A and B are shown apart, each in its own frame.
Chain A
Amino acid sequence: MSRGDELERWLTEAYATAYRTAWLILRNRADAEEAVQEAFLRAWRFRHSVEGADARPWLYRVLVNTCCSRLRREVTVRSRSSGGDGLDAMPWSGDGPDLAAQRSELASAVAAAVGGLPDHLRIPVVLRYYSGLSEREVASAISRRPGTVKSRLHEARRRLAANPALAALAMEAEL
């Protein structure tokens, strides 16, 4: 198998989840695509350093770092241009009106609720509950202790539960 085939096979397996993870973190399609491409290229360039080990947590670590770099840049630009308002208020961008219309009410509520979480809570939530990383792998990806990850996930779920729109929809779904 050539190197091109090897990369393509890896991308076919992992790209979709990685892209959607980046999209959930960055809340912007263009940024997510750039971040994922950058992360895959970096990971591909240094793939020999993780040979034999599980490359998935490592890929997500690279991806989180890339996303954080973009968020940091975004924070700098936003604080410079508008006096530093929080990211919580930042709307999801890059969606066309047709797609927004197609999105279910529940999905919109989830998007708003997750988007309203601060970065340090949103990233562990996405990695744990969407990407399917274990708490230890999330800890490795964000360079924090597993205990920190556990407490952040707990705090994120508490905040999501307190979100009135999400809570109402969840109650409807249960009924």
Chain B
Amino acid sequence: MIDEFRLTELLTELADAEPIPDGAIERVVAAAFEPPPPRRPRRQRWLVVVMPVALLLIIAAAVVVNLGGSSSPSRFSGVGGALGRAGGATGAGASAGPGNSGAAGVPVPAAAASVDATSGTPVPVAIAPVQTRVIKTGSVELEVPRGRFGQTVTSLTSLATGLGGYISESKTFETASVPNGTITLRVPASSFEALLGQVRAKGKVKSATSGGQDVTGQYTDLQARLTALSAERDQLLTILRSARSVPDILSVQDRVTGVQSQIEQLQGQLKVLDDQSSFGTLAVSVAEPGAPPPVTPVPTHRRGMKKAWHEAVDGFVGGAEAVLAHSGAVLLVLVFVAAIAVAIRFLWSWSRHRIV
């Protein structure tokens, strides 16, 4: 270890041998009192940090926006534009939502919009009248005189068929000490009130409920979506015919399959709604005096707290699905944010590089 005193001596000897430049002090004095030179624009070190960060943010935003609006998939090299426009037709159709319900039995106009497949601009379509759709349900608890159970059941069956309907479900217990049973009648919606009145006349009504749910909006919405999807499928088929390369053909076929699947789902939902609104459903419990309380069948549509509960469950599942569906984009954003953080740290330490 070199001695501190010796080191001081050596350094002093070395430095003191270095002559002071001539006139240096005078130059400093002169520089101190001369008017300051015009200031040069200062080198903006913060720009070194800010510019790359801004660039990264712009790229991230562009990526996110591109992910969000994936209406023009790049893998459809030759037919991407046409596919994008065909996809746009779906969106427009789907957006023609509910809101066309009117009074029961009164046809109301349904406004629908389509999108021109070549220009992509919305094209108004003819306003078609829409028939109001109401799901009618009810239940009646009847008490019939002793020995009249079988006859009542038979007459209820005749009543339903006489009104153009049918028995959708029947459970009778005639072997028990007190015969009882439940029959679910389905008749055309227009005859539902008549059925209800005639059923009530068959015995002593212990309880009765009836109700209706207007599903016109839902029905119209499904129809509009179906129309739009059908148009999209037609467009895709046209594109498929003009596609030449194998990747294009496979891509378009994928899209056609997807759209066809959606069409079939919508058709199924429409069919169910159509059936439920075309025929009213009446659950009739028939029992002779002294029978145990009948088990009322679960109504086909929910109400009150049960409905709220099921909507809550549906909402939870839907929310979880939405979170999962967007997790990819969120992950990408997080990766970008992490990259930006690392870049800032690196650039900052670089710009603050210290010698000592």
Contacts and interface: CB of A to CB of B under 8 A. Distances in A.
A144 B354 CA distance: 11
A125 interface: yes
Given A68-B355, A68-B356, A126-B11, A161 B2 contact: yes
A41 B36 CA distance: 11
Nearest to B12: A130
A170 B32 contact: no
B18 to A, nearest CB: 6
Contact of A130 (B8, B32, B33): B8
A107 interface: yes
Interface residues of A, number: 50
A142 interface: yes
Interface in A57-87: 64, 68, 71-72, 75
B32 A44 contact: yes
B201 interface: no
Interface string B10-41: 11111111101100110111011100000000
Contacts of A111: 14
A89 interface: no
B25 A119 contact: no
Given A110-B11, A114-B11, A72 B2 contact: no
Nearest to B353: A72
Contact of B28 (A40, A64, A71): A40
Contacts of B24: 15, 19, 33, 36-37
A136 interface: no
A37 B28 contact: yes
Contacts of B20: 15-16, 19
Contact of B13 (A8, A44, A107): A107
A20 B16 contact: yes
> Which applies to chain B's interface (DSSP): helix, strand, loop or mixed?
helix
Contacts of A37: 24, 27-28, 31
Contacts of B13: 104, 106-107, 110
Interface residue tally of chain B, by bracket? 20 to 34
A139 to B, nearest CB: 11
Contact of A7 (B16, B29, B356): B29
Contacts of A52: none
A83 to B, nearest CB: 18
B31 A72 contact: no
B11 A120 contact: no
Contact of B356 (A23, A64, A110): A64
Interface in A9-65: 11-12, 15-16, 19-21, 23-24, 29, 33, 36-37, 40-41, 44, 64
Given A110-B13, A157-B2, A8 B7 contact: no
Contact of A20 (B7, B15, B29, B354): B15
Nearest to A68: B355
B355 A72 contact: yes
Query: Sorted from nearest, which 10 A-B pairs have the closest CB atoms?
Result: A20-B15, A68-B355, A130-B11, A161-B2, A142-B356, A129-B8, A110-B10, A11-B25, A107-B14, A160-B2
7 contacts: A7-B32, A15-B20, A24-B14, A41-B32, A72-B355, A120-B356, A144-B356
Given A7-B32, A103-B17, A166-B2, 19 more contacts: A3-B33, A7-B29, A8-B29, A15-B25, A15-B28, A19-B20, A20-B15, A23-B15, A24-B14, A24-B15, A29-B18, A29-B21, A37-B31, A41-B28, A111-B14, A114-B11, A123-B355, A129-B8, A130-B11
